[in-house]
Structure 1
Amino acid sequence: MIQIYPYDSEGFFLGQPETLYPDPGTGQYKIPENATSIPPVKDGQGMWRPWFDSEKQEWIEKADQEYKDSLKGPADPPSALDELKAQHALTTVQLAESQNLIESQAKMISDLFLMMAEGGKA
């Protein structure tokens, strides 16, 4: 058995490969006219809108950027978990900034007390 890749009357891939079994009498594979055993890939990658050139016996990418963008659709809104993660990250940053400020103020107060204890001289 082999995989074949059917295409429509215009040459565009129909989207699903089919399994082809050999003829029981001859053992040969009879690939239909609107199919090929060549997979619709280019440089090892799949294609957006593969079109089969029967003369060259190769698949050609027929999707332009507008077509690709139309398939992407709108971006999904962030989930509640993603929003909580972002909020947590922001809170963590704010907490670290607050701790740094507290430490610098404590050092400043300590320096002032030391200065007062030495008679107010810097």
Structure 2
Amino acid sequence: MIQIYPFDTEGFFLGQPETLEPDPGTGKYKIPDNATNIPPVKDGQGMWRPWFDSEKQEWIEKADQKYKDSLKGPADPPSPLDQLKAQSAATMVQLAEAQNLIESQAKMIADLLLMLAEGGET
């Protein structure tokens, strides 16, 4: 018994390997015209959209980046913990901005008071 990899009329892998039994009379394997015993891998890696080149007897990757992105689907929504972390980070940024503003205003008030104490002249 061997595994074969069927492909459609355009040469694209159908997605599931099949097992093939040898011919009971001859003991030889008769691989159908729309299949191969070559696995659809390249450099030891699987492929997104394998296409079989019958002349070269090899699988070729036919997926472009747009096709790959279309298979990924939407991202999982953030967990409640991740949402709280994001809110906490945003609050910390707002707090730091508010603290900087307070320090800036305190310096401005101190400068104005000093100017008044010196007689109001610049």
Which category of TM-score, normalised to the shorter sequence, fits these structures?
0.5 to 0.7
Q: 1:23-61 CA distances to partner (integer Å, 9 max, x unpaired)?
A: 000000000000000000000000000000000000000
Q: Residue 27 of structure 1 aligns to a residue in which SS?
A: coil
Unaligned 5+ runs, structure 2: 93-122
Unaligned 5+ runs, structure 1: 95-122
1:53 is aligned to 53
Kindly provide the amino acid, as one letter, of the partner of residue 21 in structure 1: E
Kindly provide the amino acid, as one letter, of the partner of residue 62 in structure 1: K
> TM-score, length-normalised on structure 2?
0.67
Structure 1 residue 81 displacement after superposition: 5.1
Q: 1:51-108 CA distances to partner (integer Å, 9 max, x unpaired)?
A: 0000000000000000000101111112335546x47x97xxx8xxxxxxxxxxxxxx
2:76 is aligned to 76
Identity of aligned residues (%): 84
Distance in 2 (CA, whole Å) between partners of 1:81 and 1:2 is 49
Aligned residue pair count: 89
> TM-score, length-normalised on structure 1?
0.67
Q: Residue 60 of structure 2 aligns to a residue in which SS?
A: strand
Alignment of 1:96-115 (within 5 A): none
2:40 paired with 1:26 = no
